[in-house]
Each structure stands twice: as structure tokens, then as C-alpha cells.
Structure 1
Amino acid sequence: MGLELRRDKNHNLRSKWWYGRYMVDGKRHFTNLGVEVKGKVPENLRERGDTAFECSRTLAAAKMKELLAEAHNTKTAKHHLQELYEIKAGENIAQIPLTELEAHWEVLPTKRKRSAQQAKNMKANIRMFREYIEANFPSAKLMSQITRRMALGWMKDINDQGLSATSYNVKLSLLRGIFEQLGPEAGMIANPFAGIPYRALNTVHRQPFTQEELNKILTHCDPILRPVVLTAMCTAMRRGDCCRLKWDSVDLAGGFVTVKTSKTGEVAEIPLFPVLRAELEHLPRSSEYVFPEAEEMYRTNVHGLSWRFKKALKDAEITDTVVDREDTRMKASVKDFHSLRTTWITMALSAGVPMELVRRVTGHSTVDVVLKHYFRPGKDAFKAALETAMPKMLTGGEQKNEKPKDALLKLIERADKVSKKDFVAKVAKIAEEMAA
């Protein structure tokens, strides 16, 4: 153990650097000391060289001493940490290898059960983090060896890839949560991801389809996709909930669909519109799922469903489905399958359906979520809805809370209580409205 030079079989130097060989904690270490060999090198290190060589040997020895001191201090700190943990917990610190991080994460408690797709995506993120550490910090094998510098390096690498703020924040939240929950068990004093700020979100909201666009989409859907799209149009259900809809959630007699939403876990109660009811009544019950082919595709090849819907939009000549984003090189989708949900909510609220009924259908727990992310009326629809609901004095138009036909029927019922002059005047006014 000590200073060494690297030589070839002819005893010539293979490297211009001094090397050190030492043992710490029962493990042998051989490292480049970063000190260049100078002067005339003697045949054997037991011999003295010239002044330049001996000066470089002295610098290498000092560097070696510094490494040994640092290794000893690290060993002592780990020993004290181990003792403190054992005193407090009555058990040894669990050394968690980075290769086992995914398995440890999988058994952590959660508020809601993870879907198979969520688990797959999160484990992929953990694997990406591990591969980054292996490539850039190969000496770090354990969770307890991850430092703040490594955590910051990983997040910078993610940011430099041009991912959106949402993707960046998901990865940060995942790793921060893992180290927060597993860190104490692994003997970590501090969470290396704590305090790293999230990126500001630049949310691009999905836009609703028009009635004409909905009709075109249905016309150009293939047989597997069409009933799923029709279900989304009539129920505002998410794609996964539509594909996994079961017959025991459908009450044809009562005219309702009752499902527990996969994303929020909230129970949604949705009336069956006649067009959807007619569609469901003609489907065979060959599976527990209403749409067995779509369910299988969603489970095994979800991208196949995305491709089919994009093709339907293209065939229907619906444009402006994506827009540029400021925070990433990737474009944002503003008209896709999820826009069917936005369309339903926008149409319902614009037509005056009470917010509480909309929330019962969509399964949202708060009004803020509905208004912020889903209520996107166009200018004309927004203007018409306000002019219909607001008083004439504010809008300059006629308030249309009652149809002329209904007003005429009510007037006829009250004919004996109205003077002949007033009756004729009101009938004339209603007739003008009906002719307009």
C-alpha cells in the first residue's frame, strides 16, 4: 500500500501520473492522485531520483495523506451515524442499493391506488435517474450516497432535454417523495431534492369542438373507436373510463351510468342520452366490458387509440389541433380525445346547467377545477349565453328566459284576468317574437 507508478512490461511509464493504493473499511482502492510525475524516474521507487522527481513524489505523498484522512473521516462519520440510528431505532441502517429503488418505491403507501400505466411511467422515471447516476457518478451505488450536487445535476439534465414544466415537475416530485419517505430508513440526514424549486407551469388548455366538428369526427371514426368516442361525447368521461366501462355500471332501465373515475376516485352519475342509449342497446354482451376491443387496446397498446383518433381528426379535416409552447420544444395538443370532455362541460355550462349537476357528471371535487381547466366557451357562445341570462338593461337586447310559445299558452290561461286591450297587445308582441 502506498505510492505507485504505472509501467509496461519493458518497465517504461504507461502514465505520467502518480497513483495511490490504500485500504478503507476492508476495501482496496487504487486511484489517480492527480499529481504529474516530473524529472528523471529511477528504476525502482526505493531509489532516489533527481530533484524534480522527488518534488513530485512529495506532492503525491501529501495528496495520498489527504485522501486517507478524508476516507477516515467519512468512515468515522458513517460509524457515528450508524450508532445514532441504532440507539434511536434499535435496528441497523438499511443500505438501499440504487438498483432496488424501484422495488422499494412500489411498496410505499399512497393516497390512491396507482394504475398500471402510472406505475409503469413512474418506474421508468426512477430508472432514468439511476442510469444518470451510473453514467455520471459511478461510485454512488447506494441511496445514502446521493448528494445535493447529484440531485441538482439530474434536474439540470432533465431541464436541458427540453421537457415541459409539467414533466419536469413530475420527475422532481417523484424523486423528492422517494427520498423523503425512504431517506430516514437509509440513514440519510437530509433529502438532496428538498428545496429544489418547481418550474412555473405554462398551461395550454384544450379547446372544445363545435357541433359540426363532433358530427364529422363520428363519421370518420373506425368501428372500434366510434362507440368509445360517442360515449365520451355524451358522458364527458375520460378515455380510460370509456374504454373500461363495464356493463354493471350501465343502468339502461333507469337511464344512468354510474362509474368511479380512475383519476380522482370520485363517483360520477351520468344520465344516458337517447343517442348513447340506442347505441348501447344494440351492443352484444360478450364480455364484462361494454367495449371489449377498445378495453384490450387501451390495456395493451394505448398509443393505438391515440393514432386512431388523430386519424379521425385528420380525415374530418379538423385543423389547429396543436400549438407551440414557450417552455418546451414539444407542441401542446389543444384538440384531442380529452377535448370531448371539455366540449361537454362547456356546452352544459353555456346552456345553463347548474354547476353542481356538472360536477356530479364529471366527478370533479371542486368548482375551480371545472372553471379553470374545462369551461372554454368561444366568443360567440359566451356572448349569447350572457345576453340570454343577463337583464335587458345591461345587454341592450331582449331577455329570452321564456319561449314565445310558452308565453302565449300562459297568456291564454290567464285571459279572463287580463283586459281585452292588454290581451290583444300582448298577443301581438308574442306573435312578433315568434315571427322574428
Structure 2
Amino acid sequence: MRLALKDKKKPIVLESHPYEYYAVKFLDKKKFNVSDGTIKKYQRINTELCAKFGKLPISSLKVSTISDFIYSLGHTGKTLKDYITILNGTFQQALYDEAIVRNPINHIERPKAKRTEIKPFTKGEIEKLLNKSDGWIRNYIALAVYTGMRSGEIVGLKWKDVDFQNGFIDIKRSRHHGVDGSTKTSSSTRRIVIFDSLMPYMKNQHKLTSKLKAYVFMPYDNRPMQDSGQFNRVAWKNLLKDCNIEYRRVYNLRHTFATMMLQSGKFSVNMISDMLGHNSVQMLFNVYAKYIKGESENINRKIDIL
């Protein structure tokens, strides 16, 4: 299909490719600046969008058609934002090629952003979880709660990344769907300390899997975990029931680490942000604002600054 636009000087003839042509172009470029896990998520969403719009000329798609479809899917606000991100990027590629004269996604109402609600575990709950578990499950929980590592980072951790002598862990990858990929962002590739309270659990896990000279956690026939979902299905839900603790995602162990660090008053927000692998301290303020005390409260007023 060819789309002609009238111009006072001379007509401009534009080539209108199908939607899927620009969808592929967008994802190909996106691969260079997002994590492997995000790309896989985008690919799954894009397959669904292409099934609906793929063969249609991109210039024929209207705001109402696109909006009605994505809002009919019944997804949450966060997932809807992912759909809109992909659609926006796809139409933007067509706009760059002058295959369309405007990006229809600019006229689609975005879902309202909701403040992330976190439910960190209490000290008593963490003690219950550690006391009621054993073996690799106990060590997994300890690693999560004493480092704030993301689940994919824990599953992808290898013994070569653990430096017992100097007390550090290098986080270099994240594992999803049985594949090692890059960390969530460039700042997520980081070095974190092994606190003394974590060391016994790490040494215990070392006895279990170090001879395999591969991943830290290899609980199933000496094979690495496919992803964090395995831990959730096999161990986490049942453990929470045994401890009589309401269900919360494993990710809340990361929130627990962050809030414990903030409440201790011994670490600056910059240090905590670095340990969590955030791009900036703003993320810390957005999610954990109520746990951050004003640093002015800790100022030593007896210091002579002159």
C-alpha cells in the first residue's frame, strides 16, 4: 500500500510497510540497551501484538483500534506500560521512516503509576524462615536477605564470583528461563560485601556445591536452577505456610535488606543504592521513602566546621 501526502510544492509518496516490519526494527535496536530478560519479555508481548496487527499497514492503525485492544486484555498497569512502550517504539520507527505522519500512541491514555507497596519481613519473621528451613533453601534465603540480590542474580551466581578471602561477591549476570544473561542495568553489575552474618551460610553452601565448580545453587540433580520461579514453586510457598507467615513474593527479601540497612542508620543512601544496584538514589527514595530518616538527624553538632 502506498500513502500519498499532498504538499504545495510537490507530492511526497510514502511507503507503508506492515506493522510487524517496524516491530522487528524496534526490538533489534532495543537489544543493545536493555537486559536479556527485558528483551525476552518484550518479544513475548510483541508476538501477541503482531498476531493482532502484524500484517496490517502501519499507516492504517488508528488510536481507538490500538487502545481498545490493549485495554481489553485486562492487564495490570505495569504490564500495560510494557505494551505501550513496545507500541510507541514501533510507531516511532515508522515515523522516522516517514511512513506515518504522527505517532498514535501519543494519544493513548497511560495507566496511572502506582507507588510500589513493599512488605518487608520483620526480624522475627526472618528468624522463623531461617530456623524452619535447612540446606540450600536456608542458604538461599540468607543470601537474599543479607545482600539484597535480585532473584535472577542469585540463581545465576557462580562460585568464581565469590571471593571468600577478601569478603566480596561480584554480580555479573542474571539467569532467567535457563539462560544466563546480563544484569538488569549496567549499574546492577557490581561488587557487594559478604557481611559476617552471611558468611556461615555461604560456607555451608560451599560444602554443598563447590566441587561442581559452577553455580552456587544446583539443587536438582546437580544442575543449575532454571530461574527463581523454581525456588518459589518448590520451597518458598510451603515454607511460608509452615512459618504461618502471609504469602509475600521472594522479592520482599530484597526489600527487607534495603529497609534493614536504612533503619540501621549506619549506611548512607548512596552506599545502599550502590549495594542494591540502582541507577541512582532516586529509586531508593521512591520506594523506601518512609524508611529514610533525614541525615541531618545524625549530624554531630559538636564538630567545629571553621
One of 153, 158, 161 as aligned partner of 1:249:
161
Structure 1 position 236, deviation (Å)? 0.9
Structure 1 position 250, deviation (Å)? 1.4
How do residues 196-345 of structure 1 correspond to structure 2 at under 5 angstroms?
Answer: 196-221=108-133, 223-260=135-172, 262-266=183-187, 267-282=189-204, 283=206, 284-285=209-210, 286-293=212-219, 296-299=224-227, 302-307=228-233, 308-319=235-246, 321=247, 335-345=248-258
Structure 1 position 206, deviation (Å)? 1.3
C-alpha distance in structure 1 between counterparts of 2:145 and 2:112, whole Å: 32
CA contact (8 A) 1:220 1:316 kept: yes
Structure exhibiting the larger radius of gyration computed from Cα positions: 1
One of 100, 121, 127 as aligned partner of 2:47:
127
Amino acid at match of 1:296: P
Residue in 2 that maps onto 1:156: 71
C-alpha distance in structure 2 between counterparts of 1:129 and 1:199, whole Å: 18
Residue in 1 that maps onto 2:90: 178
Structure 1 position 260, deviation (Å)? 4.3
Residue in 2 that maps onto 1:114: 35
3-state SS of paired residue (2:170) = strand
C-alpha distance in structure 2 between counterparts of 1:271 and 1:76, whole Å: 60
> 1:245/1:75 Cα in 2 relative to 1: closer, same or farther (>3 Å)?
closer
C-alpha distance in structure 2 between counterparts of 1:97 and 1:246, whole Å: 42
Structure 1 position 177, deviation (Å)? 1.2
Deviations along 1:163-184, one digit per CA (max 9) or x if unpaired, are: 2222222211221112112444
Q: Does 1:188 align with 2:100?
A: yes
3-state SS of paired residue (2:259) = helix
How do residues 40-55 of structure 1 correspond to structure 2 at under 5 angstroms?
Answer: none
Could you say what the CA RMSD is over the residues aligned between the two structures, in angstroms? Answer: 3.4
Amino acid at match of 1:192: P
3-state SS of paired residue (1:347) = helix
Q: Does 1:351 align with 2:264?
A: yes
Structure 1 position 255, deviation (Å)? 0.9
Q: Which runs of 5+ in 2 are unaligned?
A: 174-182, 301-306
Amino acid at match of 1:95: H
Length-normalised TM-score, structure 2: 0.76
Amino acid at match of 1:155: I
C-alpha distance in structure 2 between counterparts of 1:102 and 1:221, whole Å: 46
> 1:273/1:145 Cα in 2 relative to 1: closer, same or farther (>3 Å)?
same
> 1:176/1:97 Cα in 2 relative to 1: closer, same or farther (>3 Å)?
closer
CA contact (8 A) 1:251 1:257 kept: yes
3-state SS of paired residue (2:245) = coil
> 1:184/1:174 Cα in 2 relative to 1: closer, same or farther (>3 Å)?
same
Aligned residues: 278
> 1:364/1:275 Cα in 2 relative to 1: closer, same or farther (>3 Å)?
same
**Aligned sequence identity (%):** 20
Residue in 2 that maps onto 1:142: 57
Structure 1 position 358, deviation (Å)? 1.5
Q: Does 1:367 align with 2:281?
A: yes
Higher relative CO (Cα under 8 Å, sequence separation at least 6) belongs to: 2
How do residues 389-400 of structure 1 correspond to structure 2 at under 5 angstroms?
Answer: none
C-alpha distance in structure 2 between counterparts of 1:340 and 1:75, whole Å: 55
Structure 1 position 298, deviation (Å)? 3.4
C-alpha distance in structure 1 between counterparts of 2:252 and 2:3, whole Å: 59
CA contact (8 A) 1:102 1:127 kept: no
3-state SS of paired residue (2:190) = strand
Deviations along 1:1-55, one digit per CA (max 9) or x if unpaired, are: xxxxxxxxxxxxxxxxxxxxxxxxxxxxxxxxxxxxxxxxxxxxxxxxxxxxxxx
Amino acid at match of 2:280: T
3-state SS of paired residue (1:370) = helix
> 1:275/1:84 Cα in 2 relative to 1: closer, same or farther (>3 Å)?
same
Amino acid at match of 1:298: Q
3-state SS of paired residue (2:237) = helix
3-state SS of paired residue (2:192) = strand
C-alpha distance in structure 2 between counterparts of 1:360 and 1:204, whole Å: 20
C-alpha distance in structure 2 between counterparts of 1:366 and 1:150, whole Å: 38
C-alpha distance in structure 2 between counterparts of 1:77 and 1:151, whole Å: 23
Structure 1 position 155, deviation (Å)? 3.3
